[in-house]
Homo-oligomer: A and B are copies of this chain.
Amino acid sequence: MDQSGLSKPNLSAYLSSQIQNLIRSNDLKPGDRLPSARALAEQFNVATPTIREALRRLQATGLIDIRHGSGIYVRRQSDRLLLSNPGVGALETQTILQVLDARTLIEPHLAGLAAQFATPSEIEALQDLVRQADIAVERTDDSYIRVNYELHAAIARASGNLVLTHIIESLLEMYSTELHLTDPRTGFAVTRARDHFHHHIVVDAIAARDPASATGAMTEHINVARQTVVAQVSAGAPSGKGADTNGTASPL
């Protein structure tokens, strides 16, 4: 039943890479559907529980999306070098602050690089995202959160450093959950408008090929966001699953 000469310990690992190849060679894009689990099992001459393990692995790395009753879909175009751990739940406030510290270190640097190395089409894409944000900032659904993610990710991408880009993408998606929890159309509208204003400045600086301004604006942007979180915390609202209030202010 196994006609290949190669020994294959860990069939599921082997199958994972085969499915990755399948996605690549068929040029499947995010949203596209893969063959059904049964079809895949037949195609690779394995039983369904086995192909299932391989699919779970790919699901854990964020490459695919499995929807009961519907099918298996491609989630990301290309592989990430780094991922946010899908196993971690809600972040403690202390951790959120450290995420922002990390972003304060990385994103201004990326903004500066983007101002130097972004291609014209990348700059155009950035300006388009700002225009999208002009609209989304007024809406009450979560479209702004999505645009916000796209904007930061696009700036990172325009820097030319893939690794740092993946780091930022992972950090952003890490606490995207938190953002949903925080924002029930409260006084956050003002925060949102302020963020949007900062985005404008950063993108303008990049478009003007002014690294120093881009770096500075991004630093300002994230620092202000961090201060907002600090203010929320000291205002008493205990986020995270609590119980861990051993201070030691996050150093930066």
Contact = CB atoms under 8 A, between A and B. Distances in A.
Interface of A: 9, 12, 16-17, 20, 49, 52-53, 56-61, 63, 68, 79-89, 95, 98-99, 101-102, 105-106, 109, 113, 116-117, 159-164, 167, 170-171, 174, 248, 250-252
25 contacts: A12-B56, A17-B87, A17-B89, A20-B87, A53-B53, A57-B57, A58-B87, A60-B61, A61-B85, A61-B86, A79-B85, A81-B85, A81-B95, A82-B85, A82-B167, A82-B174, A98-B163, A99-B163, A101-B164, A102-B167, A105-B105, A105-B164, A116-B251, A160-B251, A161-B252
Q: How many chain copies does the complex carry?
A: 2
Given A61-B60, A167-B167, A251 B81 contact: no
Contacts of A252: 113, 161
A91 to B, nearest CB: 8
Contact of A16 (B63, B87, B102): B87
A56 B53 contact: yes
The CB with the most chain B CB atoms within 10 A, among A82, A251, A252, is that of A82
